[in-house]
Amino acid sequence: MTVTLKEKRELNNFLDLLAFSTVKRFYPTAAMNYTQVTSLEDTYDYFLDLVESGELSIVWEVKCTSEKIICARKLDDAQSKEMLLNKEVACDICGHEFTVSSNDLFPAFEISTEYREIVREDKKKTSNRLKINRHFAKV
């Protein structure tokens, strides 16, 4: 399954908004809350495509996955899974110590600097165009 054209547009709008915000990192679930997209897998796949094409970069976060209590504290992160797997970590909140496995890794995404600049540049052009239109409307 892939995202539909409508969903793609919504996700892109979400990314545009983020590009203007101070948000550095976001989760696929945040995109789903903002849009009508209902499949986490599709959202994730679409963002992976954008990583390939340079709009986004992926960051893997190690979350505390203690089964006794719901902790979910972020303990570490890296650009690749390999840098984190089999690492020994300890949680400073709940004291849980464990060896990182793929189950403890959660993907987050960041908008690339280049894409952020392009989006911002685009917006400037749009507002200039509006100004121009208004100018001509007066004449």
Q: Could you tell me the two tokens for 112?
A: 């690339």
In angstroms, give the least distance from the CB of 89 to Zn ion: 10
Are 93 and 71 in contact by the 8 Å Cβ rule? The answer is: yes
Rounded to 10 deg, the angle between the 113-138 and 5-20 helix axes is 90
Dihedrals φ, ψ of 32, to 5°?
-70, -35
**What is the arrangement of strands in the sheet containing 105-111, beginning at the earlier edge strand?**
25-26, 105-111, 56-63, 74-78
In angstroms, give the least distance from the CB of 132 to Zn ion: 55
In angstroms, give the least distance from the CB of 76 to Zn ion: 12
Q: Binding mask 48-67 vs Zn ion (x if CB under 5 A, - otherwise)?
A: ----------------x---
Which of 17, 23, 90, 93 lies at the binding interface for Zn ion (CB under 5 A)?
93
Q: Binding mask 95-114 vs Zn ion (x if CB under 5 A, - otherwise)?
A: -x------------------
Q: Binding mask 1-40 vs Zn ion (x if CB under 5 A, - otherwise)?
A: ----------------------------------------
Residue 108: how many other CB atoms lie within 10 Å: 18
Contact set with Zn ion (CB under 5 A): 64, 71, 73, 91, 93-94, 96
